[in-house]
Structure 1
């Protein structure tokens, strides 16, 4: 994999703070987002590079490895493990280790890591798990109301997965064996997928519950009546009690959002009534309201 300067991609200095990196990422992600650049292959490529750079630099541990090992940062753990193993072997043979010097040359380190000589002189192959990778999947709230299947392309590989209904914004799932290839036949790394869910509906979501506001006219609030309210999957008719006050809340059990990995179970929908005061009254209507005011004050 070719080396990419992630700091250059996000146009920040190597001394940039976490907040500065986050700000730069958001700015560039908006600029090159596929929705704003339809059919623009260069913008799509740039958007992927920006996300990759953010995944590394916004993660403190990954950033530390990247700063220390550069283009080899994804194999930092393998390097450290192999180095410790080499030092242990030299120590057990009584030669002391003292870094990479003392009993051997620098290439011994790589031989021990990628299939060199064992302490007994035989040939051995050290296997290491491939690097874990991270990705971000952008979805709309409507997309996760039902279970659906998606095909993702990550590092040139097509990965088919089932997204359960009820996934939350910021939730991360682990997909085993979908990371980078292992070293010397070692197991593949894992894929950590983070969901970014945007809400373009009239509902507010709080975990499994939904919240919305429904307007009712003044006459229905005073005298009672019926009002049609929207739910996430359709409409329902509600009975408005006489004397309903502004801000009255109604709970619709089981009309909320699906509960993650619990088939057929839903949260609740909470509706808040908002009374609309009539405007542009006719002279007759004004007279009637004046009469009502006199009756109330008499």
Structure 2
């Protein structure tokens, strides 16, 4: 993979703080976002590069590797192993291992192996694990759907199961960096960042909502139409219902992760809206009602 200067992509210095990197990323992401640049291939490419740069520089561990190894940062662990092998080289030679003592052997050991009395053994290393974050809306994860995610310039087609939670992380095997010397590919660790722009509050599989009813319906009872996540339903309101009364709608909550057809519950809390202003006629009637209550 070609080397990309992530600091240059985000237009920050190598000494930039975490907050400065986050601010620069948001600015660049807005600038090149596909929604603001429809059918602009160059902007789409820039958007991918900005996200890639943020994935590396916003992660303290990855940033440290990148600062030390540059374009080879994804092989940092292999370099460290090779450096340790270099330290024990003399002992190996005394035990029958062959090999030069030049510094270049350190790099060769990363992509090759050591020689045992004339025969060469090649070490294999697993590829670098990737970390990515997928931003979704709560409505997106109410149903199972497919999504294409771009990680390090590679498009990965995913099936997003319904019911995933904010902050949940899943591992996608074999979608990380390429292995070295025929070693297995690394894995992709995907973290879900789920924004809630609905009026429902989610707690695992259950949903919570507040419904306003007027004073007269609270006293006399009647019928009210309430929103659920996938439509509207009508509910009976008993006469004399109290403010803060809760009702449970079984199975009208959020899908249970990886359990097809299972849902949590929806809890409705009634809020009685007291009129802030009333007509003279209404005032007279309320006064009459007040007299009746004292009889």
Q: Structures share a fold, TM > 0.5?
A: yes
**Alpha-carbon separation, structure 2, partners of 1:252 and 1:47:** 43
Identify the match of residue 271 of structure 1 among 239, 243, 268: 268
| CA deviations over 1:65-124 (Å, ceiling 9, x no partner) | 1111111111111111122223323323249xxxxxx95112211222222551422223
Give the equivalent residue in structure 2 for 1:254.
Answer: 251
Distance 1:157 1:69, change over 3 A: closer
Moved more, 43-52 or 179-188: 43-52
- When normalised by structure 1's length, the TM-score is 0.87
Distance 1:44 1:247, change over 3 A: farther
Unmatched 5+ residue regions in structure 2?
A: none
- How big is the alpha-carbon RMSD for the aligned residues of Structure 1 and Structure 2? 2.5
Moved more, 129-138 or 181-190: 129-138
Identify the match of residue 202 of structure 1 among 184, 188, 199: 199
Moved more, 230-239 or 39-48: 39-48
Report SS of the residue matched to 2:171. strand
Q: How many residues align?
A: 292
Deviation at 1:211, TM superposition (A): 1.4
Give the equivalent residue in structure 2 for 1:99.
Answer: none
1:112 and 1:118 in contact (8 A); partners too: no
- Answering whether residue 220 of structure 2 is matched by residue 223 of structure 1, we say yes
Give the equivalent residue in structure 2 for 1:91.
Answer: 91
Deviation at 1:153, TM superposition (A): 4.0
Aligned runs of 1:130-279 on 2, under 5 Å? Answer: 130-278=127-275
Give the equivalent residue in structure 1 for 2:107.
Answer: 110
Unmatched 5+ residue regions in structure 1?
A: 96-101
Give the equivalent residue in structure 2 for 1:33.
Answer: 33
Deviation at 1:31, TM superposition (A): 3.7
- When normalised by structure 2's length, the TM-score is 0.88
Moved more, 166-175 or 131-140: 131-140
**Alpha-carbon separation, structure 2, partners of 1:227 and 1:259:** 28
1:11 and 1:24 in contact (8 A); partners too: yes
Give the equivalent residue in structure 1 for 2:54.
Answer: 54
| CA deviations over 1:44-68 (Å, ceiling 9, x no partner) | 2222222212211121211111111
